[in-house]
Amino acid sequence: MGDLKPLLAVLSGEARAVPPLWLMRQAGRYLPEYQELRAKAGSFLDTCYNPRIAARITLQPIERFGFDAAILFSDILVVPDALGQKVWFESGSGPRLVPVESDAEIAALAESFDIEKLSPVFETIDRVKGELPKSVAFIGFCGAPWTVASYMIAGRGTPDQAPARLFAYRRPEAFARLIDTLVEASAAYLIRQIDAGVEALQLFDSWAGVLPPSEFERWVAEPLKKIIGKVKAARPRVPIIAFVRGGATHLAGLSERLGAQALGLDTAIDPAWAAETIPAGTALQGNLDPLALLAGGAALDREIDAILRCFSGRPHIFNLGHGVLPETPLEHVSQLAARIRGTGN
Ligand code: 1CP
């Protein structure tokens, strides 16, 4: 156990004096070297499906900041793409999809699922694993069914996922079918990521926080539990982090219910509450405000220290409460890494 990579040690339940550090969206627009490769690769999806470039982008933040984990460079919307839905990204305005609507369109998705469409992602994983420094863990991921379905229904990002929420109230059977299709496809996709070489998984339920409790149960908790059950049945040893953004008080018993080894905490969760309420065997990941990182200075130091204090003595992975913002200065990320490791002042 002593020779596990720090991130994997924490996921196995070990508390470390210096928590392992990585950041959601660490491979992305705040890095000039990312911008440079993106400009060469064509569209965003072309970048995701170019193993040579996607592998380089995955490694960029490790090379610059020495994070303890690399996260596969891809996107949650490659799964709808593999299900045959038309997906593209418009620069400046984010993802676009041709919305799924009719029962027939929803039924057709499972039929047209082609996991081989994602083979460039598995090739990216294969390339990265040979190049990672020995102590750096490799995280694979997918979007949770509710979050992915919300984009499939709306056809774009929205402030509150109202189109999918309405759809789920009005046509619960059709929506359940879509969710089931995503459970099956996501589990198969994650298992293939493990076989290609990732060592841990994160499930992103970025839009869990817009649902009332009954809908949370049906569209967030149940599908996540099913995916984790399927992945664990096939590959029992790979640890899983559930990032249920806006999960609020649902987080209290969620890790045991889902069978997840860690919970990602969003910015609004009080670390003291989480440390007290969530069972000590569950690793906690988070939860610095991305805007504190953008602001830097004394406010950043103060927020970092408060989080470190609350989680000291428990298995903790230092991360943000959501993704790095594109405007974040690189020096602030260096300030963060130095402070966590006790090499700053
Ligand atoms: O213009 C560009 O270069 C594209 C920007 C970008 C990037 C860098 C997008 C479009 N996706 C990504 C990469 C990405 N997305 C990763 C890579 C690994 C890393 O973390 O470094 C990951 C894990 C994701 C996951 C993702 N995509 C989520 C879940 C996490 C979260 O941030 O909440 C979601 C919701 C998406 C959808 C998406 N993809 C891209 C954008 C701008 C969005 C959000 C759209 C919206 O709702 O407005």
The 3-class secondary structure across the chain, one letter per residue, is: CCCCCHHHHHHCCCCCCCCCECCCCCCCCCCHHHHHHHHHHCCHHHHHCCHHHHHHHHHHHHHHHCCCEEECCCCCCHHHHHCCCCEEEECCCEEEECCCCCHHHHHHHHHHCCHHHHHHHHHHHHHHHCCCCCCCEEEEEEECHHHHHHHHHHCECCCCCHHHHHHHHHCHHHHHHHHHHHHHHHHHHHHHHHHHCCCEEEEEECCHHHCCHHHHHHHHHHHHHHHHHHHHHHCCCCCEEEEECCCHHHHHHHHHHHCCCEEECCCCCCHHHHHHHCCCCCEEEEEECHHHHHHCHHHHHHHHHHHHHHHCCCCEEEEECCCCCCCCCHHHHHHHHHHHCCCCC
Asked whether 34 lines ligand 1 (CB < 6 A), one says no
- Which ligand 1 atom is the nearest neighbour of the CA of 323? 32
Asked whether 133 lines ligand 1 (CB < 6 A), one says no
Asked whether 25 lines ligand 1 (CB < 6 A), one says yes
Domain ranges of the chain: 6-340
Asked whether 94 lines ligand 1 (CB < 6 A), one says yes
Q: Which residues of the chain have pLDDT under 70?
A: 1-2, 344-345
What's this model's pTM, rounded to 2 decimal places?
0.97
- Which ligand 1 atom is the nearest neighbour of the CA of 38? 3
- Model pLDDT, residue 344: 59
- Residues catalogued as catalytic: 25, 29, 38, 75, 151
- Model pLDDT, residue 2: 58
- Which ligand 1 atom is the nearest neighbour of the CA of 206? 33
Q: Determine the residue of 49, 76, 121, 153 to mutate for testing ligand 1's pocket, defined as the one with the most ligand atoms within 8 A of the Cβ atom.
A: 76
Q: What distance in angstroms lies between residue 44's CA and the mean position of ligand 1's atoms?
A: 10
What is 6-340's CATH number, 2.40.50.140, 3.30.70.20, 3.90.700.10, 3.20.20.210?
Answer: 3.20.20.210
